[in-house]
Amino acid sequence: MPLVLPPGEFEAYLFDCDGTIVDSMPLHLEAWKAALAEWGCPFEAEQHYAWGGLPVTTIIATLNQQHGLSIPVEAAAERKESLYYEMLPQLRAVPEVLEQIELSHGKLPFAVVSGSTRESVTASLQVVGLLDRFDVLVCAGDYSRGKPDPEPFLLGAQRLGVAPERCLVFEDTEFGIQAATAAGMASVKVPQPWER
């Protein structure tokens, strides 16, 4: 089912990466479960999708608080990412978003605005053959406050040289939609895998 875009004359498209451009959320969930199991920490699908868009280190720190654990944040983040990279050959683009990229590439500037690391975003986009479509990548480490704060999207708009109100955001998570709205941007909600 094609995405329904809001009315308006947009001058740039800003895309979340995981779950929006690439159908990576199921692969990330497998990587999370395997990595966290090594520290005896449960991680459910509902939590994974609810926390979509949060930086990896934030997720681990929050799990430590919730479960009274002391998982080493950097080590667990690296382990989770390495497990995800092993599964990358299975990665595919989200068809409805790919259609919008194909329709508008070359007509509008594009940015990726992600809570994932630059390495993860770059690897994911390379696997699906879309890395060259994006003028700007805004990733974890480029900003101090992640989604639902508007900072990542505002940075993406600034780097593209487009006013926030002239940007359209493609997002699959509630945190992402909240961040886009707080940035003064229109948004399109990309359906989750089970909704497509």
Pair type for strands 136-138 and 12-15: unpaired
Q: Which of 149, 128, 111 is CA-nearest to residue 10?
A: 111
CA distance 159 to 125: 19
DSSP 39: T
Pair type for strands 12-15 and 110-113: parallel
Asked if residue 148 has a cis previous peptide bond (ω within 30° of 0), the answer is: yes
* Known catalytic residue at 135: no
Pick the catalytic residue from 16, 18, 23, 172.
Answer: 16
CA distance 159 to 61: 30
Decide: 86 and 95 in contact? Cβ < 8 Å.
no
Cα dist. 94→98, 112, 147, 159, 171 in Å?
A: 6, 14, 21, 25, 12
Catalytic residues: 16
